[in-house]
Amino acid sequence: MNRTAVVTGAGSGIGRVIARSLIGHGWSVALVGRREEALSATAHERKGVLLLPADITDPTQVDDLFVRVHEAWGRLDLLVNNAGWSGPSGTPDEIDVEEWRRTVEVNLTGSFLCARAAFALMRAQDPQGGRIINNGSVSAHAPRPGSAAYTASKHAVTGLTRATALDGRPFKIACGQIDIGNAATEMTAGIATGVPQADGTVRAEPTFDARHAADAVRFMAELPLDANTQFLTLTATAMPFVGRG
């Protein structure tokens, strides 16, 4: 049976790497992101791909894109909730309230809206069920300095993962979370040159090839629905995460 997936934030970064990995291993993948040209670059004329430009914070656009997935393939096996925004940097008193709200809208509400629409498809389809994988980030465990908005939103994603996993049980819907630290992409290039540390210094941190994150997502995705990777943390071995601060 053809396996079908939706990957959000597929126009760049880890989302692009995950999407290409799934496509390369025989999945039909719907690429979701704000910019169609970026999604086209991810697809790079590969077969079995839908390009679905959308704003994941808009409920109508989200519902419409999942309707298009159903029309194209008749079912959905996997949602990778990857889209996110780094948010404002600063101490809490320096963070603009609108920037806080935007961060929560993209990272949490966007993930919820996509999970909500995917859950409805997976619940109604025959055979019933599917899998949702949320990208939490290691900031779902521990913050970097000046990251209150991003860190709070990613902690909330963990709550969404747990609740979705519980509510999905009667419908054969599995939900897990991958928390990634320092995967090397064009979006994280600054990590290798220097980022603020809890002791007030700025230091370069090690990174790892983002294809390993894609491999981990694919491992989670290809489990049978009676097994679930609830949480998986993948980091550069020597990054200052365990014992951060």
Respond yes or no: is residue 150 known to be catalytic: yes
Helix (H) or strand (E) holding 181: strand 173-181
Neighbours of 170 (CB within 10 A): 9
Q: Degrees (nearest 5) of the Cα angle 42, 48, 52?
A: 55
Q: How many residues does the chain have?
A: 245
The two tokens of residue 91 are 């101490």
Dihedral (CA of 150, 37, 132, 191) sign: negative
**Helix-helix angle 13-24:211-221, to 10 degrees:** 60
Q: Is 61 helix (H, G, I), strand (E, B) or coil?
A: helix
* Rounded-to-integer distance, Cα 80 and Cα 197, Å: 30
Say which of 150, 174, 176, 220 is annotated catalytic. Answer: 150
Report whether 207 contacts 188 (CB < 8 A).
yes
Please state the φ and ψ torsions of residue 29, each to the nearest 5 degrees: -125, 130
Write out the catalytic residue numbers: 150
